[in-house]
Amino acid sequence: MNRYQGSLSGVLPVFQTPYLENGEIDYATLKREIDWLLECGSDGVVMAMVSEVLRLTTAESRQLSLRVCEIVDGRGAVVISVGGESNKIAIENAQHAESVGATAVMAIPPVSIGAMEVELVAYYEAIVNAISLPVVVQDASGYVGKPMSIDMQADLLHRFGAERIFFKPEATPIGPRLSALRDATDGQARIFEGTGGIALVDSYRRGIVGTMPGADLIRGIVALYQALQAGNERRVYELSLPISAIVAAQHSLDAFLAIEKYLLVKQGIFQNTIVRGPRAYRLDRETVAEIDRLYQLLCDVLEKP
């Protein structure tokens, strides 16, 4: 397979994992999803939390990583989530991702413990030293775990350099913490917005290099990112308002999964909305109706020249 040769930046959506009715991964639909994401203007794809990585077996995760790299085949970046509950697990995940052709890896801290900071530093050092790829440090505390300190994250960059360490901060308050990380690294930190697009406008103005949204709103996110790059303020807010309203309904990981899969079915990409259980959230009729209204508003904006 061809490893992507471009920069790690731009719009890198986290793909949803589709399932067959028997619960196995649906690789035909996965290919349709990834091809569609790239055709819509994505700069690559990411396998991460809303890909249900925490609900896959080790064998499934390995196979999914391989198949994603094969499907993309150098057409964009591939970022693979490799975080684990021990240094050994994370190292093996990272080495596998590199062996199958990933462009970069991304790692959340262990989720079963609130690790001491010195232990987290050792965890990320172990991942970086095990591979030659860039490592995206993901503070996933919006879903799991606790926020990582700005000083710790900046120290990792100072140790390994901006070519090896990237960031996806999700701890609140998003904007001020993003700026603090930027300033603590003298503007060297390469940061991805990671809130599904709801903080994309504010984050862009604070100096991000890209965004890692969900797959469902990719046409809107690509258009919004292009409007930000072009400085088209009117279009920025026409697009960001319905996008933000849809993402605001996704108040938990399982809400993200449910709404994103619903919209992927609505757009003809997925065959069903199966999410692996046990789940903590199900869509109700009123939520579906509001999502439909907001999505139509977004489509109306996208149809404008």
DSSP class per residue in 210-236: EE--BSTTHHHHHHHHHHHHHT-HHHH
201 in a domain, yes or no? yes
Query: E strands of the chain, at which residues?
Result: 10-11, 44-47, 77-81, 104-107, 135-139, 165-169, 190-193, 210-211
289 in a domain, yes or no? no
Q: Note if the bond before 134 is cis, omega within 30 degrees.
A: no
Phi, psi of 291 (to 5 degrees): -60, -40
Q: What's 61's domain CATH number?
A: 3.20.20.70
- Which helix (H) or strand (E) segment holds residue 299: the answer is helix 285-303
Cα–Cα distance measured from residue 79 to residue 253, given in angstroms and rounded to the nearest whole number? 19
8-67 confidence digits (pLDDT tens): 999 999 999 999 999 999 999 999 999 999 999 999 999 999 999 999 999 999 999 999
257 pLDDT exceeds 80? yes
Instruction: Provide the β-strand partners of residue 80.
Output: 47, 105
Q: Which residues are annotated as a binding site?
A: 212
246 in a domain, yes or no? no
- Calculate what percentage of the chain has a pLDDT beyond 90: 90
Indicate the pLDDT class of residue 261, thresholds 50, 70 and 90: very high
Q: For residue 120, count other CB atoms closer than 10 A to its CB.
A: 20
Residue type, 211: T
294 in a domain, yes or no? no
The pLDDT of residue 31 is 98
- Calculate what percentage of the chain has a pLDDT beyond 70: 98
Q: Which residues are annotated as a binding site for pyruvate?
A: 212
* Arithmetic mean of pLDDT, 186-207: 96
Q: For residue 119, count other CB atoms closer than 10 A to its CB.
A: 13
Among 297, 208, 215, 295, smallest CA distance to 249 is for 295
1 pLDDT exceeds 70? no
DSSP 121-164: HHHHHHHHHH-SS-EEEEE-TTTSS-PPPHHHHHHHHHHH-TTT
The pLDDT of residue 144 is 63
The pLDDT of residue 145 is 65
The pLDDT of residue 36 is 98
Using alpha carbons only, give the angle 45, 49, 52 rounded to the nearest 5 degrees: 95
Q: For residue 205, count other CB atoms closer than 10 A to its CB.
A: 11
Burial of 148 (0-12, 13-18, 19+ CB in 10 A): buried
142 pLDDT exceeds 80? no
Burial of 12 (0-12, 13-18, 19+ CB in 10 A): buried
132 in a domain, yes or no? yes
184 in a domain, yes or no? yes
242 in a domain, yes or no? no
The pair of three-digit structure tokens given for residue 18, joined into one six-digit string: 């589709």
Q: Which domain holds residue 179?
A: 10-232
CA-to-CA dists, residue 26 to 33, 34, 163, angstroms: 11, 12, 35
Q: How many domains does the chain have?
A: 1
272 in a domain, yes or no? no
Indicate the pLDDT class of residue 4, thresholds 50, 70 and 90: confident
pTM of the predicted model over 0.85: yes
